[in-house]
């Protein structure tokens, strides 16, 4: 696939998934932020290396994206682990709260440790990424009495009826961008009503707001998949693998040290290359065009405009602001009030990505091929806990 074909596919994916093509953001060691988060998912779910998982978490965390990393942890849990390890949810809530209170990274490392050493399942991720633009089936005829008795709105009745029919494509549609079920709380309560009425499950103590994760429809989707799962495949005991004592110490030590010269930063601190398996959705790097609408090559973006895109990171913004630098959106550069300020900045942070070896450059800018959803699952050796006859 040519570069232009990649761009077209990426734009088509953005349109189909209602994903706005955003300005790329570079992290502290000049990786693309969206790719850092995906590399965390790939390394955690794919069991590549626990040290690599910690590296990607740290890259986002120390770049100033702590809340984005928290969201990523929740998303990873609900995508791949929630339907097998429901007991993890309350543990994650406590760990996130402890981090919020203390700022101690140890709590987040514990979360990564839990996920990395647990067996993932691809069902929820597959359904969420599927994001159908229309339902697979439309149910007509008289409304069943049991469904009418639940007292639900017309749109949410369609969701519940799809659950009852075991039609997971429909479920994915109604909880996705195109399904029209915008009230996640109403959907959540309807799911609890249905499973209480038709399956005699007591879900009264389950509350959506108990989890500090913004994507509530994701939680609803995971809950449905969990409640429909064979109980024998669910881990009912709360067994948590302990975090090795020196993990946090090593992490803090690595992230707290700096090379003697700015030029040595990228060779010494870019420990891992981005994964070739992050192309399962639109990437920000392919959404940058010049004034004529032509796509910018990734190398050109990294070499000529890295300061401009790094300014979107809280860490880099603080560094630029100290030197009085301003964004020039027309030229996609940062401008300094005088030569002294410019020299001060580059003396400390002149990483010179264009002058690094090809190996060091490729750790952040290697080519990434788009992957179809089922192809990605196969590459990750991920299966779903159930056969999806309707998907």
Report the distance separating Cα 136 and Cα 145, nearest Å. Answer: 23
The predicted structure's pLDDT at residue 225: 94
| Whole-number percent of the chain with pLDDT over 90 | 72
The predicted structure's pLDDT at residue 385: 63
User: Under a CB-based contact definition with an 8 Å cutoff, are residues 87 and 237 in contact?
Assistant: yes
Average pLDDT over residues 44-64: 96
pLDDT digits 0-9 by tens, 16-53 = 333 445 689 999 999 999 999 999 999 999 998 999 99
Report the distance separating Cα 99 and Cα 104, nearest Å. Answer: 5
Q: Which of 277, 377, 293 is nearest to 11 (CA)?
A: 293
CA distances from 210 to 89, 93, 108, 220, 233 (A): 10, 8, 18, 13, 25
Average pLDDT over residues 79-88: 94
Q: Give the E-state strand segments of the chain in sequence order.
A: 326-328, 333-335
pLDDT digits 0-9 by tens, 92-104 = 999 999 999 999 9
pLDDT digits 0-9 by tens, 156-206 = 999 999 999 999 999 999 999 988 888 999 999 999 999 999 888 887 677
Report the distance separating Cα 202 and Cα 196, nearest Å. Answer: 6
The predicted structure's pLDDT at residue 366: 92
Backbone φ, ψ for residue 173 (5° rounding): -65, -50
Torsion sign, CA atoms 331, 287, 20, 291: positive
Judged against a pLDDT cut of 50, whether residue 5 lies above it is answered with no
The predicted structure's pLDDT at residue 4: 40
Q: Which of 38, 28, 26 is nearest to 63 (CA)?
A: 28
The predicted structure's pLDDT at residue 22: 67
The predicted structure's pLDDT at residue 238: 66
More reliable by pLDDT, 222 or 15: 222
What tokens were used for 242? Answer: 């302990």
The predicted structure's pLDDT at residue 230: 82
The predicted structure's pLDDT at residue 384: 77
pLDDT digits 0-9 by tens, 315-363 = 999 999 999 999 999 899 999 999 999 999 999 999 999 999 999 999 9
Give residue limits of the domains in the chain.
3-117+241-373, 123-238
What's the distance, CA 276 to chain centroid? 16
User: Under a CB-based contact definition with an 8 Å cutoff, are residues 214 and 206 in contact?
Assistant: no
Helical residues (DSSP H) of 263-297, grouped into ranges = 265-269
Report the distance separating Cα 146 and Cα 199, nearest Å. Answer: 12
User: Under a CB-based contact definition with an 8 Å cutoff, are residues 225 and 124 in contact?
Assistant: yes
The predicted structure's pLDDT at residue 318: 97
CA distances from 376 to 5, 220, 262, 382 (A): 19, 24, 37, 9
CA distances from 366 to 21, 35, 280, 311 (A): 20, 11, 16, 22
Backbone φ, ψ for residue 180 (5° rounding): 90, -5
Backbone φ, ψ for residue 24 (5° rounding): -60, 150
Asked which of 58-67, 166-175, 189-198, 292-301 is least confident by mean pLDDT, the reply is 292-301
The predicted structure's pLDDT at residue 301: 84
pLDDT digits 0-9 by tens, 204-233 = 677 888 899 999 999 999 999 999 988 777
CA distances from 150 to 103, 157, 192, 207 (A): 44, 9, 11, 19
Residue 334: which H helix or E strand, with range? strand 333-335
Report the distance separating Cα 262 and Cα 349, nearest Å. Answer: 5
**Residue length of the chain:** 391
The predicted structure's pLDDT at residue 9: 45
């Amino acid at each position: 696939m040519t570069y232009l074909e990649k761009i077209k596919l990426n734009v088509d994916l953005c349109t189909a998934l209602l994903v706005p093509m955003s300005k790329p953001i570079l992290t502290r060691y000049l990786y693309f932020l969206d790719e850092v988060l995906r590399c965390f998912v790939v390394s955690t779910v794919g069991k590549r290396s626990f040290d690599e998982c910690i590296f990607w978490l740290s890259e986002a965390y120390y770049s100033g994206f702590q809340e984005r990393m928290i969201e990523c942890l929740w998303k990873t849990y609900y995508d791949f682990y929630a339907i097998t390890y429901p007991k993890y949810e309350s543990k994650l809530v406590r760990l996130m709260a402890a981090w919020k209170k203390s700022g101690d990274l140890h709590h987040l490392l514990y979360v990564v440790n839990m996920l990395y050493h647990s067996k993932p399942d691809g069902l929820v991720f597959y359904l969420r990424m599927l994001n159908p633009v229309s339902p697979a089936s439309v149910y007509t005829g008289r409304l069943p009495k049991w469904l009418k008795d639940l007292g639900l709105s017309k749109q949410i009745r369609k969701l519940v009826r799809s659950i009852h029919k075991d039609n997971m494509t429909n479920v994915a549609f109604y909880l996705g961008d195109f399904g029209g079920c915008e009230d996640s709380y109403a959907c959540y309560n309807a799911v609890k009503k249905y499973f209480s009425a038709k399956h005699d499950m007591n879900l009264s103590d389950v509350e959506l707001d108990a989890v500090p994760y913004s994507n509530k429809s994701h939680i609803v989707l995971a809950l449905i998949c969990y409640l429909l799962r064979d109980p024998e495949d669910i881990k009912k005991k709360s067994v948590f693998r302990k975090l090795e004592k020196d993990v946090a110490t090593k992490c803090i030590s690595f992230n707290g040290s700096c090379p003697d010269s700015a030029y040595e930063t990228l060779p010494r601190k870019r420990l891992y290359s981005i994964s070739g398996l992050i192309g399962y959705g639109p990437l920000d790097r392919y959404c940058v065009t010049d004034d004529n609408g032509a796509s910018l090559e990734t190398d050109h973006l990294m070499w000529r405009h890295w300061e401009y895109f790094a300014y979107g990171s809280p860490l880099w913004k603080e560094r630029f602001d100290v030197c009085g630098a301003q964004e020039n959106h027309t030229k996609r550069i940062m401008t300094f009030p005088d030569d002294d300020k410019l020299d001060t900045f580059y003396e400390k942070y002149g990483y010179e990505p264009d002058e690094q070896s090809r190996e060091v450059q490729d750790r952040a800018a290697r080519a990434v091929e788009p992957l179809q959803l089922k192809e990605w699952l196969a590459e990750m050796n991920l299966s779903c806990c159930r056969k999806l006859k309707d998907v």
